[in-house]
Amino acid sequence: MATYFLFLSLHVLGACIWVGGHLVLATRILPRALRERRASVVSDFEQAYERIGLPALAVQVATGLWLAHRALGGWSGWLAANPPARVIQLKLLLLAATVALAIHAKLRVIPRLRDDNLPVLGAHIVGVTTLGVLFTLAGASLRFGGYPLFTP
Ligand code: HEM
């Protein structure tokens, strides 16, 4: 019980940092950078944020996998078609999409970032933020057995 409490608390704390940070970036920092046409507004924020944001995402994945194993058991549970298993499968898809966007941004977009191509990075930021909000909705639905995202 104590481990469950600890891992769930770390998972919620990680969600606050990951989704909260991206909401600030997408709704406050990015619009200002676009208005002023200054890519450095975003890169300065990202440089400061990634020190806490990336460890938070790593904590999300580690605690999430542990919580999912606790909820679903072995492989047959993870591959089942019931609503809680569907939510976990959705979370794994969201994770794959988040990692793909992050790798693309890091390797292809950020090295070529200039004031005039900032909207390309902006699209990535909006994408990762939207995925983060969907992660949160999916996580909260697990308390309701997967409802309202999936029904038996
Ligand atoms: C950025 C990524 C993620 C975010 C923002 C996130 C967010 C959340 C939130 C807000 C909850 C609700 C906690 C509560 O009921 O109080 C939750 C629960 C949960 N999440 Fe995540 N999550 C993320 C990644 C993952 C991953 C990768 C997995 C595993 C595949 C996962 C598995 C779970 C499970 C199993 C629960 C239910 C815990 C329980 O009530 O026992 N999460 N998540």
Predicted confidence band of residue 152 (pLDDT cuts 50, 70, 90): confident
Transcribe 25-47 into DSSP letters.
IIIIIHHHHHHHT-HHHHHHHHH
- The model carries a pTM of 0.95
Q: Which of 131, 22, 23, 129 is CA-nearest to residue 139?
A: 131
Question: Which residue's structure tokens are 């992050």?
Answer: 102
pLDDT tens digits along 34-86? 999 999 999 999 999 999 999 999 999 999 999 999 999 999 999 999 999 99
Angle at 85 between CA 126 and CA 71, to 5 degrees: 105
Q: Give the tokens for residue 97.
A: 């999409």
pLDDT over 90 for what percent of the chain?
98
Q: Which residues line ligand 1 (CB under 6 A)?
A: 8, 11-12, 15, 18-19, 57, 60-61, 64-65, 67-68, 71, 88, 91-92, 95, 132, 135-136, 139-140, 142-143
CA of 29 to the centre of ligand 1 (A): 26
Q: Return the pLDDT at 32.
A: 98
